[in-house]
Amino acid sequence: MTDVKFKKLALIGIGLIGSSIARSVKAHGLADEIVCAARTADTRRIALELGIVDAAYENPVDAVKGADLVILCTPIGTYGPLAATIGPALEAGTILTDVGSVKEAVVKAVTPHLPDYVDFIPGHPVAGTEKSGPAAGFAELFIGRWFILTPTPKSSHEGLEKLTAFWTAMGSKVETMDPAHHDLVLAITSHIPHLIAYNIVGTADDLEDVTQSEVIKYSAGGFRDFTRIAASDPTMWRDVFLHNKDAVLEMLGRFSEDLTALQRAIRREDGDTLFEIFSRTRAIRRQIIDAGQETAEPDFGRIHSPDDE
The model's pLDDT over 104-114, given as tens digits with 9 standing for 90+, comes to 999 999 999 99
- Say whether pLDDT at 117 is over 60: yes
Task: Spell out the residues 6+ positions from residue 116 whose beta carbon is closer than 8 angstroms to its own.
Answer: 154
- Say whether pLDDT at 304 is over 60: no
Q: Range(s) for CATH 3.40.50.720 in the chain?
A: 6-177
Range 83-96 average pLDDT? 96
- CATH says 6-177 is which class? alpha beta
pTM score, two decimals? 0.79
Predicted local distance difference test score (pLDDT) of residue 7: 97
Quickly state the pLDDT bin for 283 (edges 50, 70, 90): confident
Q: Cβ(147)–Cβ(126) under 8 Å?
A: yes
Q: Range(s) for CATH 1.10.3660.10 in the chain?
A: 181-308
- Say whether pLDDT at 305 is over 90: no
Cα–Cα distance, 242 to 238 (Å, whole number): 6
- Say whether pLDDT at 277 is over 70: yes
- Say whether pLDDT at 93 is over 50: yes
Range 80-108 average pLDDT? 96
Quickly state the pLDDT bin for 205 (edges 50, 70, 90): confident
Range 268-278 average pLDDT? 91
- Say whether pLDDT at 169 is over 60: yes
Predicted local distance difference test score (pLDDT) of residue 128: 75
CA-closest candidate to residue 183, choices 228, 235, 122: 122
Q: Which fold has domain 181-308?
A: 6-phosphogluconate dehydrogenase C-terminal fold (1.10.3660)
Cα–Cα distance, 104 to 95 (Å, whole number): 18
Cα–Cα distance, 28 to 174 (Å, whole number): 17
Q: Comparing 6-15, 148-157, 276-285, which segment has the lowest mean pLDDT?
A: 276-285
